[in-house]
Copies of this chain bind each other. A is one copy, B any other.
Amino acid sequence: MRELFELCGADPELVFSPYCWRVRLALAHKGLDWQSRPTRFTDKELIAFSGQKLVPVLIDEGETVHDSLAIFAYLDQRYPQRPLLGGALAAERARLVERLSFHMVRVPLLKMLIPRVWQVIDPADREYFRSSREKALGMSLEAFADPQGGERLFREGVAPLEMWLRDQPFLEGQASGGCDYLLAGMLFWAWCLGAQPWAEDSALGAWFARILQTYEATHGPVKRAAIHLEENQ
């Protein structure tokens, strides 16, 4: 059986990592089943077999692959139907789209979502979450987090995507593809943590709803956290 090691909260059914969501969407796109292996931030021994410390990790037919883009490439090679990255030129451009859209949405969402991640993770994960993120950010979580500012930056950042999606239902055209999932994973991060910085009636909101609905039609309802943030958090 195919196994996907993916980040979870204190509730093992709450999967919120954007990179793990990319892989879920990619597997669903290919029509492949998998068994979820919920993995907490500090469950490093669970994925030690992969030779590194980060999820997602996929075990498929005896192969172990980590990193969302590497998993996309692996899936295309092993299961050529419905390409995610496609040929060399298309794949290179998917990586470039990923880099550009990542820059537009990742930092804004991180500013928004830090207090929510803090609430949903297992208390035993909090020290790891704080120290790893503070090292990467070069400042305290409290100094970096800014839910209102992050939401404003997100709306500014997605403006070109919003315009693009007014002309066609998916980033890739008439059907969803690799670039859609690379970006949608980021929005699932917010969604599963109970946030929604896009307007329901925006083109981006309609695009996300299409991807969510397609996923839920085959895989059941997506678990969202019920979070009550205190004022000024």
Residue positions of A touching B, CB distance < 8 A: 83, 86-87, 89-90, 92-94, 96-97, 99-104, 159-161, 163-164, 171-173, 177, 179
> Do A160 and B92 touch across chains, with their CB atoms under 8 A apart?
no
Oligomer copy total: 2
19 residue pairs of the A-B complex, CB under 8 angstroms, read A83-B89, A86-B87, A87-B87, A87-B89, A87-B90, A89-B177, A90-B93, A93-B93, A93-B172, A93-B179, A96-B97, A97-B97, A97-B100, A99-B163, A100-B100, A100-B101, A100-B161, A102-B160, A103-B159
Q: Which of B87, B93, B102, B159 contacts A97 (CB 8 A)?
A: B93
Query: Secondary structure at chain A's binding surface: helix, strand, loop or mixed?
Result: helix
Residue from A90, A93, A94, A102 whose CB has the most chain B CB atoms within 10 Å: A93
List of B residues within 8 angstroms of A161 by Cβ = 100
Q: How far is the CA of A101 from the CA of B96 in the complex (A)?
A: 10
Least Cβ–Cβ distance between A109 and chain B, in angstroms: 15
> Do B96 and A86 touch across chains, with their CB atoms under 8 A apart?
no
Q: How far is the CA of A48 from the CA of B88 in the complex (A)?
A: 40
- When C-beta atoms are compared, the residue in chain B nearest to A101 turns out to be B100
Q: Which of B90, B96, B99, B164 contacts A89 (CB 8 A)?
A: B90
> Do B163 and A92 touch across chains, with their CB atoms under 8 A apart?
no
Least Cβ–Cβ distance between A80 and chain B, in angstroms: 13
Q: Which of B90, B94, B103 contacts A160 (CB 8 A)?
A: B103
List of B residues within 8 angstroms of A96 by Cβ = 93, 97, 164, 171-172, 179
- When C-beta atoms are compared, the residue in chain B nearest to A171 turns out to be B96
> Do B100 and A160 touch across chains, with their CB atoms under 8 A apart?
yes
Q: How far is the CA of A172 from the CA of B91 in the complex (A)?
A: 10
- When C-beta atoms are compared, the residue in chain B nearest to A86 turns out to be B89
Least Cβ–Cβ distance between A231 and chain B, in angstroms: 31
Q: How far is the CA of A99 from the CA of B100 in the complex (A)?
A: 11
Residue from A86, A96, A97, A100 whose CB has the most chain B CB atoms within 10 Å: A96
